[in-house]
Amino acid sequence: MRAGHAVDLAVVNGRAVLPGQGTVEADLWVRAGRIVGIVSPGTPVQATDTLDVAGLTVLPGAIDAHIHMGSDITMAKTHEEVTGETASAIAGGVTTVLAYLMSAQPYEDLFPDAVRVMEEHSACDFGFHFCIGTQHQLDELPAYVRDLGVSSFKFFMNFKGEEGKYLNLPSNDDGFLWQLLERSVGIGAMVNPHAENIELVWHLREAARAAGGPDLVAWNNARPPIVEAEAEARAGMFAEVLDASMYAVHCSSKLALDALRARRATHDGIFIETCPHYLLLDQEAGIGTYGKVNPPLRTAADREALWQAVADGNVDVVGSDHVPRHKSAKEKDIWSASAGFPGIETLLPLLLSEGHVRRNIPLERIVEVVATRPAQLFGLAPRKGAISVGADADLAIVDFGRATTFSGPRMRSAAAYTPYEGLEVAVAITHTILGGRVVVRDGQVTGGGGGRYLHRSRSGRAALAALSGGAAEARRGGGA
């Protein structure tokens, strides 16, 4: 045997989902953390470790492009805040997370500590998005991209007046959003607006409160789809006029989806994210304040429209919008309970079970929305997001013959609950591999730490252009 055929890890006898090829029986060879061979089953190799995954399906590790960390959700600051949430990630087959740092402080001051605590304790690889709210942060945008490797920026369109105070974020307006979009162009950046028209909410919420009714119906009535759709339309029109890339986070309603699709028909810089809860849950979910989230859970018709968009390619990415605040923050009345809930551990199983098994969406399409497309849009491809030679050996291994019943107390998040309590899904994540290391084995988390910071020098259309440029170069014979 040639020395070149000695590998660190061989993942053998599985069915792997490969880009452009679908599900293929293949052995995967890993050396120095990367995939170095995708070969016919049984091809001889000298491997230090062999993982036999006969009967199982091998996917690229999921990328959760939308999470929040820390008990105050602004950023993780302690060991405890990192270990639980990232253990939850790998238990759910997520090998890369993109966390939102949300502060009015200069990010150049916060960034070193944010990276350090994650590098010391994170069980998965990670990158950041920054939430931009001050003039200083706006002025530093090019340095954030170039020096810190953060190329996607959140903006809360609803933080007017006192609305951002709970996160210590200042009041903003459409002029600020315009400047953020304007400055994102030419530096390879993308803007991720949280789209809600808060002035409309101020008008509508008193009537919703007075009308009462079930908690989640009242919450939806206070911030109905028009609140979201009008803001998406406005931000999308700004992006089109300025020729900027925009990533519509957590699209929750058919009305907002239609507004974004209309914009996308004339501007190819619009990208759409939805979340598992907008696909799985609605205002009739019967989970009370545990289901409070912004934008709110909608109706069954909205869920159907979003599933359709996942299937037909109109949704680019499904991210969890994971919020790790403890259960007790939800156990209040609907108007004072905190918004958001954990979702990092349930993201991939829900999409596989409810999307693929129950709705027949092809497995390759599920892999696109939860791995390949987020990698492409956030500057992580070709290192992340697909099983291909040269990519990081990040894998999620799935048993479609075994069910899982979700139980919040058994999950690893500090939140200690799940909005899907008691739900049985038709899959189990059996193994997770991060950079060639088996970090979940037979459903047990075995690896902590080892997560690496991912410097992302471009996002959005700039990232896609760099990828297609690279592919063209490879076709001309320059590539490996």
Contact status, residue 35 vs residue 388, Cβ threshold 8 Å: yes
Applying CB under 5 A, which part among 145-153, 240-248, 261-269, 319-327 lies near Zn ion? 319-327
| CA pair distance 186, 242, nearest whole angstrom | 11
d(CA 220, CA 302): 12
Stretch that binds Zn ion, among 15-23, 292-300, 321-329, 392-400 (CB under 5 A): 321-329
In the window 389-448, what residues touch Zn ion (CB under 5 A)?
Answer: none
Give residue number: closest CB to Zn ion. 321
Nearest approach, Cβ of 111 to Zn ion (angstroms)? Answer: 19
DSSP string spanning 420-475? Answer: TTT-EES-EEEEEEETTEEEEETTEE-------B------HHHHHHHHHHHHHHHH
Interatomic CA distance for residues 94 and 61, integer angstroms: 6
Number of residues in contact with Zn ion, rule: CB under 5 A? Answer: 1
Task: Give the residue with the Cβ less far from Zn ion, 101 or 438.
Answer: 101
Q: How far is the CB of 341 from Zn ion (least distance, A)?
A: 11
Task: Give 250 or 373: the residue with its C-beta nearer to Zn ion.
Answer: 250
Task: Give the nearer residue to Zn ion in terms of CB position, either 321 or 394.
Answer: 321
Shortest distance (Å) from residue 68 CB to Zn ion: 6
Q: Does 321 bind Zn ion (CB under 5 A)?
A: yes
Q: Which C-beta is closer to Zn ion: that of 298 or that of 356? A: 298
Under 8 Å between Cβ of 39 and 29:
yes
User: Distance (Å, rounded) from C-alpha 349 to C-alpha 343?
Assistant: 11
Strands (E), 62-187: 62-67, 94-102, 125-131, 152-156
Cβ proximity to Zn ion: between 36 and 67 the closer is 67
State the amino acid at position 283 in one-letter form: Q
As beta bridge partners, residue 34 has: 31, 392
Residue 399 Cβ, how far from Zn ion at the closest point, in Å? 30
Q: Taking contact as CB under 5 A, which single stretch among the options 161-169, 286-294, 316-324, 392-400 is the one that binds Zn ion?
A: 316-324
CB of 327 to Zn ion, least distance (A): 18
Peptide bond into 382 cis (omega under 30): yes
Beta strand 395-399 with 404-405 is: unpaired
Interface stretch with Zn ion, choices 70-78, 126-134, 252-260, 320-328 (CB under 5 A): 320-328
Site string for Zn ion, 274-313 (x = CB under 5 A): ----------------------------------------
Cα(194)–Cα(63) distance, rounded to whole angstroms? 20
Q: How far is the CB of 322 from Zn ion (least distance, A)?
A: 8
**Residues near Zn ion (CB under 5 A):** 321
